Amino acid sequence: MSEISVIAGKSSEDLARKLSRKIKANFVKSEIRVFPDGESKITLSGNISKRKSIVVKSIYPPVDTNLVQALSLISKAKETSSEVIAVIPYMGYARQDREFLPGEIVTMKVLGKLFKGAGASKIIAVDIHSIIGFKHFTIKSKNVTAIPDLVKYFKKLSLKNPLVVSPDQGGKDRAKVFAKEFESEYIALEKKRDRKTGKIQIKIKNADKVANRDLILVDDMISTGGSIIKATQLLKKQKCKRVYVACTHALLMNDAEKKIKKAGVTKIVSANTIPGKTSVVDVSSTIAKAII
């Protein structure tokens, strides 16, 4: 029996299976039964290692349900294993890393206590929305990026004079890293969001760089796609060629994929941190390196 077990949360089963193969670990499957009132009953099948367990579970919608399931899996693993690493490919609640408006609860602080209390000794996330959130954790935490994996995918495509674009200034560093690895130029649009209404405004300073080029809009996550849609519409006015979207986490809520395509995006490419039609980029090797 392997000295390491990979325990798969139902929402991350494919990624967990790939990871278990990469690190030659026991694969432990979980079955979920949801009662009419919304409670989850989790049953595990497989051998849990006494030395080390790795729980793989993304916390995407329904976020609260998946969070409780993740904590339950960690707690169960800790009953047998002396060390439990929680791999949370998509970390829900990472937006709430500080008190933006008076009275707001810093949910990442709560999560830090919950993961520790459940028995996790280390947390690994992929492209967490805000690294500041980990400052609230008292256990070891590590963020890895899917950018090299995404770049590898885009290098296989025949793009015309490609340009990497960040939909806002906040993602400028991400676009810079992507462009360096992809060996291309990059620009960052300017986005303003009203914190109370959520309304978005986007402007472009480097309009002259866009015409007749294939563009890769790079973001960490896409929820409703509002920013991507507005950015695409603005870039299309500048006479660009095709627009691709590269993101780590494709939540794609409320028919977002359909709306993004309607705005003129050729293809959405995302990592398998969240399973779905667009999740064509595997990050199991990147996660494996962070564990070993």
Q: What is the DSSP letter of 90?
A: S
Closest of 235, 282, 274 to residue 253, by C-alpha: 274
How do 52-56 and 26-34 pair as beta strands? unpaired
**Omega within 30 of 0 (cis) for the link into 62:** yes
191 is catalytic: yes
Distance between CA atoms of 39 and 35, rounded to whole angstroms?
5
Distance between CA atoms of 126 and 23, rounded to whole angstroms?
18
Distance between CA atoms of 261 and 256, rounded to whole angstroms?
9
Helices (H) and strands (E) in the chain, counts: 8, 15
Give the distance, in angstroms, between the CA of residue 242 and the centroid of all CA atoms in the same chain. 24
Bridge partners, 165 (sequence order): 187, 217
From 22, 41, 191, 241, the catalytic residue: 191
Give residue 172's identity as a one-letter amino acid code: K
Bridge partners, 218 (sequence order): 246
Active site residues: 191
